[in-house]
Structure 1
Amino acid sequence: MSDVVLQTRGLSMAFGGLKVFNGLEFALQRGERHAVIGPNGAGKSTFVAVVTGLLSPTAGKVFLDGRDVTRTSARDRVKAGIVRTFQINTLFASLTPLESVLIALSQRDGVARPSLRPLKSLKPQIEEADALLHKFGLADDATALTQALPYGKQRLLEVVLAFALRPRVLLLDEPAAGLSTHQGQELFEQLATLTDGTTMLFVEHDMNIVFRYAQRVSVLAGGSVLATGTPEEIRSHDGVKGAYLGH
């Protein structure tokens, strides 16, 4: 089996006469943490939206483990293992973390909504939900209302919900948005430890986080992939320094 899990070939996206990117060639290696960076307006979030099926490209193809998923719906891509979080919090504020994770697991396993089934019939999902919350350090908050959680824990809960779907590729769109520098680093420290071995693609503006936690980095600029490499290679890339890093 190829080490490439997610790949794009000739991927282009335009909104009317506005070209966001053109002919993107991208490959995500199995098990790596890969960051996508670039100046504002470079198309990073649009790229994630196309890869996850929320937007259809104007040209090109998206492959998951060699299978063409370009015209597959966002829902079917989740089932296939492409799972994402969003830049803006999308949690159910009036539910508890335990309820939210239980719903995610029930949907994953194709069982009816928890409110429509006796709890004893959902024992495997309840046990797994409890284990996930323990793993990510949210067990003490399992029965608190989500809206009452500190924002950092809410962002972590989003990752738990995505992780509950057993992703083959986990995509995080600015997971540290709205967090302080310390909180963002703390979140990524947890992610690096707890999701080790999970193929992860993330968009992030904080270069300290990117260079500390990414194993490879791709830079979007001028409608294309300007460079891909290790953090050290990207730091020293003359074109990247001129176009984005500013030194």
Structure 2
Amino acid sequence: METKARIMVVEDDATVLAVVSDYLRGQGYRVAEHRDGTAARRALSITLPDVLILDRMLPGVSGDVLCREVRQSAPRTSIIMLTALDTVEDRIDGLESGADDYISKPFALRELQLRIDAVMRRSRRTHVSTGPFALGPFRVHPAHRRIWLRENEMTLTNREYELFLFLLQNPDRVLTRDDILREVWGWNFGETTTVTVHVRRLREKIEPEPRFPRYLLTEWGQGYRFTVDDAS
């Protein structure tokens, strides 16, 4: 029998925390819960969850700060922001902090579960049909979820890895944001700002000068194209 994911829920609203935690336990997940950022930070220093569900507005240490800290120390932990802040700017801020996904309050518990399942499925997925391969300065070992830029292994979050692998497997093909949402996030519809932010984060890791990309190009009005042919 498959062991369900370990989930940490950090939420200062006691009712929301109880409802979410009880629901997830009822679905078989192992759940730890905290009501403030300071307690969550202590717990995260001891044990890392598979998925961190994180309110942005927390007492003690803010959700944004926690998100950035976890991103630096544990890039493979999936992070879902759970918050009442719902403007485009708020979503961008949360994603820029390192979140993999963003859910606005009020929300359906079933939607939250589906988002958790999606990030876990993507993080566990192996591409058995594709062996190790190289493209330009990048070397990829899909079965081990590892990518190198020249001689240096890259540190990528689960979502950044999935996005980059998808791009590497589709060189010189123009991919719309909807294509990327469907293939990388597993969504048939969604907020394309999510793709824009993750592309920006990925460029910061693969491009010599992110403002003037050589590999991950924007095709205006269409989407993105990954190439090594245009790079000198």
Shorter-chain TM-score bucket reads under 0.3
TM-score (norm 2): 0.26
> Which structure carries more relative contact order (alpha carbon 8 Å, separation 6+)?
1
